[in-house]
Structure 1
């Protein structure tokens, strides 16, 4: 059996290994490692005495082992997830074992297809509120990544909090970027100062953390005091009422932690998919024309609803291809708890493991000309011909994203409504990106708007 020293990988610098490559361009480093060394690689980084290794698993079959078939061997026990827990609590994204199973059982009934489809009208209202402001955009130009972040945050806040959208959105827009950067820096640094030391970075993060917790606690307290009649059927009310004989219910701290996870995961991931779908359509007029024709034929000018999703297959394929090229979660980490054979190599117990949608979604074994935008990669026939985990923007296995149907519902409705009103012309042809907690752009994605109707 091969040993860990048999696992190939980049040599890096003599003293620091691949530390600077990972810091400056982790996604490019993973891509090169797969291209030059294969589907299981070992990347070392850090100075002598503090050197660490991360094992990249890039084949669809290997990803399936890590996330699904052998998922019990790979846990969320690494340094990054610990930092995430300390900042956002032990909610559904970060919890494990019985905590996770209990939370999932309590939350699952709130994310059935029927329940999620009931949010379509609220999503459409928020889309309209955002696009109405585009009529006065300077030079008829908007940055679609910024605009879709605003839309997705307003939509998830409305569904979580009902009428309390504005109070939450202002604070989340200010605090989340601070927390995201802080968690990412600490999560991928070999050495960190204690969080309670009064450094400028610690103070900024503590203030953002306090703001986020305070707004959630206030809205939760007000909603519980008001009761169901005033709260209606927003997700916060349903979470507060979630209860079973086996699992009990969420206390105030647990409720806050679920809310924070839904805010984080529920807006950044959808915003990324939507923003890049619009950017790619602006770059490819022929695909935009196909999308316009489908929308005009199916909707005939009316506002889309949940029942229209199956009748808009090309629009769905556009979104899936955008998620292939720009996955919102470009790299996901785990820690191996037992030796596990993947392909021709053995991942050792205790190793940090990365699976990367950014890399696997570009793997030439599954994707011909992988950098080309081609929504027809997602026809039913093409999907059936590929391994299940050649495409995994929502993760997979027992930890698959609970909100994936909501994300697709919101994205299809938003894309359809925007394209009903506008044609798009790309201003920025290339959008640089980097990996933080989620995929982040480091430059604008501006498009010029052309009104399609008077």
Structure 2
């Protein structure tokens, strides 16, 4: 008797449907993965060339991969963040644990709270540059804001002279597609001397030079400026051999934190502005809370627990438009999911976008409704029905930083401004490494 293969047992795509899926993934990966989950259920098989891959869409299975059985997993190269060398988002095993121990003190609650003033100060500067009736690209405005904030909190001394150069260098690097890198055709194109590849290499060289220069200057000064870079320079692995980080590792961690520390928050804020512009009743309720809690003054870290509706608005925006919209793991050995056995060296894909739009957990899932995030509503959903920052030992180390930055920036700006989408502009998603608004968000500002 011939035993059926694992691929035949697990529902999913066969030839030629798999080829059509790859074409759809190039054009619209969000809907492609969503339809795959709807058609085949919570465990769905596909192939990327010779690579077996499985889309997991049930919160319990995602929890098992990220938390319960995380030691049986590795990060897949195709879905890794491409800028951080061997930083936290790419490193594995004992080395990853050591690096996380070294970096964790920089993100303790008290340390993060000390950055609140910087976050509000830079946001207020942006507000001061805005004018009534002014047209802006809100995506660029939020990107510039979060880049300035992470530069200040990371490097201490103001680095405005470097900010434009950093932004210019980051753009071609961050335009590398997320799930499209799984496509065998795109993977093949990476080996060809295309102009886009040349631009990425040149951008990486420029960015590396800036970061290494800043690290060198700080090491030479020996000064503790109370910023993230100072914390990383002073960090010692007391649980291990007591060593610190060399320049190469410091560079990798700085790059990881620098990119993750502005790109994701900027996208979350951009989508929040867009959703508020389309739902004036939510905007009005948000502004009532800001008027009541802040009474016209700037927010501070002590206000964050009181801005409950502000948090709900941001949470719902990241449900609808999760900045990190797809993550992956590779199985080390055979792995059991429900009644299925997944072979070793298989790719497991989990999409925040797919799960966050699952009607099992979110009725009318494309509707913007911050009331989904009342304490009563949260109780009725499994934890991993919402995982914008991942989970388990690899949970984004800067999650608390991002939440505070997002809430303080939104509170600072929304109590003084409304923004409306430019008439005639059609908003589209651009799912690259993060979920961006394609072509930006042209909006007109209105002073309250």
TM bracket, shorter-chain basis:
over 0.9
Question: What is the match of residue 54 of structure 1?
Answer: 53
Q: Shift of residue 249 of structure 1?
A: 0.5
| Distance change >3 Å, CA 217–CA 367, structure 1 → 2 | same
1:287 is aligned, of 282, 290, 307, to 282
CA displacement, residues 381-423 of structure 1 (integer Å, 9 cap, x when unaligned)? 1112110100000100110011011101101111001111112
Does 2:105 correspond to 1:102? no
Q: Secondary structure at the match of 1:418?
A: helix
Does 2:5 correspond to 1:6? no
| Distance change >3 Å, CA 93–CA 141, structure 1 → 2 | same
2:441 is aligned, of 440, 445, 448, to 445
Under a length normalisation based on structure 2, what TM-score does the superposition of the two structures give?
Answer: 0.93
Q: Shift of residue 199 of structure 1?
A: 4.2
1:237 is aligned, of 223, 230, 237, to 230
List gaps (5 residues or longer) in structure 1.
none
Q: Shift of residue 186 of structure 1?
A: 8.2
Contact 1:338/1:348 (<8 A) preserved: yes
List gaps (5 residues or longer) in structure 2.
none
For 1:117 and 1:14, the matched residues in 2 are separated by 51
Question: What is the match of residue 20 of structure 1?
Answer: 23
Q: Secondary structure at the match of 1:431?
A: coil
Under a length normalisation based on structure 1, what TM-score does the superposition of the two structures give?
Answer: 0.92
Does 2:40 correspond to 1:40? no
Q: Shift of residue 202 of structure 1?
A: 3.1
Q: Secondary structure at the match of 1:16?
A: helix
For 2:18 and 2:67, the matched residues in 1 are separated by 36
CA displacement, residues 173-228 of structure 1 (integer Å, 9 cap, x when unaligned)? 11112112347598334265697975433322221111111000101111111222
CA displacement, residues 294-349 of structure 1 (integer Å, 9 cap, x when unaligned)? 00110111111111111000000000000000001111011111222223422221
Does 2:341 correspond to 1:346? yes
For 1:406 and 1:2, the matched residues in 2 are separated by 46
Does 2:111 correspond to 1:115? yes
Query: More displaced, 5-14 or 244-253?
Result: 5-14
Query: More displaced, 338-347 or 143-152?
Result: 338-347
Query: More displaced, 420-429 or 30-39?
Result: 420-429
For 1:115 and 1:382, the matched residues in 2 are separated by 31
Question: What is the match of residue 301 of structure 2?
Answer: 306
Q: Shift of residue 116 of structure 1?
A: 0.1
Q: Secondary structure at the match of 2:19?
A: coil
1:222 is aligned, of 217, 221, 228, to 217
- Residues matched between the structures, number: 441
| Distance change >3 Å, CA 18–CA 197, structure 1 → 2 | closer
Q: Secondary structure at the match of 2:87?
A: coil
| Distance change >3 Å, CA 165–CA 334, structure 1 → 2 | same
Contact 1:321/1:377 (<8 A) preserved: yes
| Distance change >3 Å, CA 70–CA 14, structure 1 → 2 | closer
Q: Shift of residue 127 of structure 1?
A: 0.6
For 1:120 and 1:150, the matched residues in 2 are separated by 17
CA displacement, residues 270-295 of structure 1 (integer Å, 9 cap, x when unaligned)? 01111111111111111111111100
1:147 is aligned, of 123, 135, 141, to 141
